Structure 1
Amino acid sequence: MPLLQNHIAVVTGAASGIGRAIAAGYAREGAQVTLLDVDGKGAEAAAQEIRDAGGLAESFALDVTKREDCIAVAKRVADQVGRVSILVNNAGINRRNGFTADPAAVLKDWQDIMAINLNGVFNVTQAFLEPLLAAKGRIVNIGSIQSFLHVRTPNSPAYTTSKHGVLGFTRALAAELGKHGVRVNAIGPGLIETPLNAAVRANDPGLVKIFMDHTPLGRAGKPEDIVGPAIFLASDLASYVTGTIVMADGGYRAI
């Protein structure tokens, strides 16, 4: 039997990269998947790929920074798809301005990154909380190796802070929602080859080398490398797992 049979899963940031891969992986494991993304056309294209492969998928355009829109989409999903039992908070952005860069740029980075990476996780989780409680559901948040430290590469303090926040939010919710049967966990990707970082990878080979020099597996990850952990955490295989983060970083934090 597929691991996610009879589940309805919502994945944010599902038009590309990690979110798209997780949505497809969930569909292969029997879940009915709803793909959400600010890029509505991209989300629908990803949903169509799932349907073409024999899976069940719907899509809706959503800007996770807009709380009222999150509430409205949650109602549409409830009315048109059904009761959500799995939520993946994947939508996120990254920029690499340091704190000592142009103050206006630093402020914009902080506002934009927090609005999507942290407030967006809050907005979507709150919007879908009622069905998740009713279903004794599962929440999977996408953190980062930077949920722990600034690692060895230059990165914006806003991004690092946001991903620390995602891990803190994960642990706080796990502690609170466990009595309701809801499990809350996170995944910590390392350097994953996605459209989000394509320009950086192409234009800064030195940065990629820093990552590879500290990655025992010796390669960057692919979005599909995050699918297995995401399936595990959403499935009954992880029935006694909550409040933790599963690192999918090629061993980066080991050395």
Structure 2
Amino acid sequence: MNFKEEIVIEPGKNWFAESVRELIRYKDLLYFMVIRGIKAKYAQSVLGVSWAIIQPLFTTVVFTIIFGNLVKVSSDGMPYILFSFSGMVIWNYFSNTLTEASNSVVQNASMITKVYFPRIILPLSAAFSKLLDFVIGLAVLIGFLLYFQVVPSLNVLWLPVVVLVMLLFSLGIGSFLSALAVQYRDVKHALSFVVQILMYACPVVYPSSVIPEQYQLLYALNPMVGVIEGFRAAFIPTLAFPYMQFGIGALVSMAVFVGGTAYFNKFERKFADVA
């Protein structure tokens, strides 16, 4: 008699702990997916990683001319180009991560249908690969600080926490959208202009201090508000760290991260059928 061994992969009872264990097992795949994401963006590009500088810098110059010089938007007493660029470094990472992560599952449909691996690696690799652009933007920001002779205060110690919250929120939203995009392909088309609109709901070109006091608590529910203002305060000594905004944003970010990854995990088993 011939016996065939059948292996059935089933989700564990604790999906979060199981996901962590699988990510550890497949850490090499995650590494190579991150490297592939970086190479894919800059392959056969004349300027290469310089685009990570050109994009936010050009946008900052335009914002400085329009909002800083013509409209005279407040910049909390700092040079507007420094104010705007510090916001763009964070916003570029968030918007680019959403775009890449939301398309990550659909773009790798052929890979999903052929081999098993933790699908969460796809949005996770998108989020990690964009950290290179963030680091490059951070280096340019440091150049601006040197030019304007600005010395960061002890608030710079908050920088790792700010980056962690930014990463959790981006990954939570990205995981949710990537699972949603498998079922509804128009998510990709809607996201392109939704991200542009959302930028003006964050203190990128204006400080959060212009928001009326009675709406500050509601405004802080957007995690990017605390992240952007916290990022600025980490480098600009004249700005106080926004503990209230950042604290609320951090709690919302953790909730979004858990909710987004849980939604991804719930629909993960259907990806191969509809991707």
Higher-Rg structure is 2
TM-score greater than 0.5 by the shorter chain? no
Higher strand share: 1
Instruction: Give the alignment's TM-score, normalised by structure 1.
Output: 0.31
